[in-house]
Amino acid sequence: MPELPEVETIRRKLVHGDVSIPSIIGAEIINAEVFWEGSVAEPNIEEFLFIISNTIIKDINRRGKYFLFAISDRFLVMHLRMSGDLNLTPVNEAAPKYSRVIFTLNNGYHLNFIDSRKFGRVWVVTDPE
């Protein structure tokens, strides 16, 4: 299970980038693909895909082990649970194994929600409470 320090490391890498990947703050989520419907907890898949398309990632915070992506007028909330991970790959590279949800960003990268054991969840909500 990713412990709190690993979750914070992932958040910082997404916010600040590093030598191999850019920050995703200010990037637009063009669309998303869901490869395992159980990963999306709320709302239903069709509404999730509609809401998430063409939204801007304004900020990424963390509450405990939950990632809180501020997107447009809502929040994209993710929890990695036992074996999850978030990473960025260039759009011309193959998606990592066990990618359950892939967000295509306008900066030429995919944000991959990876979860080999299928315990992780993704929500889009108006209030992260």
Q: Which residue has the tokens 């850019």?
A: 22
Which amino acid makes up residue 84?
A: G
Residue 22, C-beta contacts closer than 8 angstroms, at least 6 positions apart: 88, 107, 109
- Name the β-bridge partners of 62: 67
Nearest to 80 by CA among 41, 120, 44: 120
At residue 15, the pLDDT reads 87
Mean per-residue pLDDT pooled into runs of 10, the chain (129 residues): 78 88 92 92 93 95 92 92 88 91 94 92 88
At residue 55, the pLDDT reads 95
Instruction: Tell me if 122 sits within 8 A of 101, measured CB to CB.
Output: yes
At residue 70, the pLDDT reads 95
- pTM equals 0.90
At residue 3, the pLDDT reads 78
Query: Which DSSP category does 96 fall into?
Result: P
What stretches of the chain adopt beta strand conformation (E)?
Answer: 28-34, 40-42, 55-63, 66-71, 74-79, 84-90, 99-105, 109-115, 121-125
Q: Structural domain boundaries of the chain?
A: 4-125
At residue 58, the pLDDT reads 96
Fold of 4-125: N-terminal domain of MutM-like DNA repair proteins (3.20.190)
